[in-house]
Amino acid sequence: MNYYLRNSLLFLGVCLASCASPEQVKYEQYVISGGELYQTHCSNCHSKEGEGLRNLYPPIRQIDFLKNVSLVTCSIKNGLSGPMEINGKMYNQKMPANKNLYNLDIAQIITFMNDKWGQTKKLVDTEEVAKVVCE
């Protein structure tokens, strides 16, 4: 089943089976879609469970980095390079840019990561991502 059809059916199922508010339904849709996008675009380096890959790629679970939507957005859009310290450990692998992701994709990925590993269950919407100016 294609990606968009499956997500549409999941979204419809959540809507019909739920007494949740429209905001909660949207949040759940972002988490589901973001999880699929994360698996496709991020998990090869950061792992399925966000713990990273030994000394090569940093973890993204339960780090303060996730609190900064602008920084995460720019990291996804433009990649990262140079040394960085995460949880007291140094990493220096280049993270490639993801120029093929739309603002909606990025918003969904960030919402998923925050839901799964962050300290917030807040929806990051497309408008918030679109406002970010990366240098």
d(CA 13, CA 63): 33
CB burial class (10 A; 0-12, 13-18, 19+) of residue 99? exposed
Residue ranges of the chain with pLDDT lower than 50? none
- The pLDDT value recorded for residue 15 is 58
**94 domain residue, yes or no:** yes
Q: The domain spanning residue 12 has which CATH number?
A: 1.10.760.10
- The pLDDT value recorded for residue 16 is 57
Cβ pair 57, 42 in contact under 8 A: no
Joined together, the tokens standing for residue 16 give 């019909």
**31 domain residue, yes or no:** yes
**135 domain residue, yes or no:** no
- The pLDDT value recorded for residue 52 is 92
Query: What is the tally of structural domains in the chain?
Result: 1
**56 domain residue, yes or no:** yes
**122 domain residue, yes or no:** yes
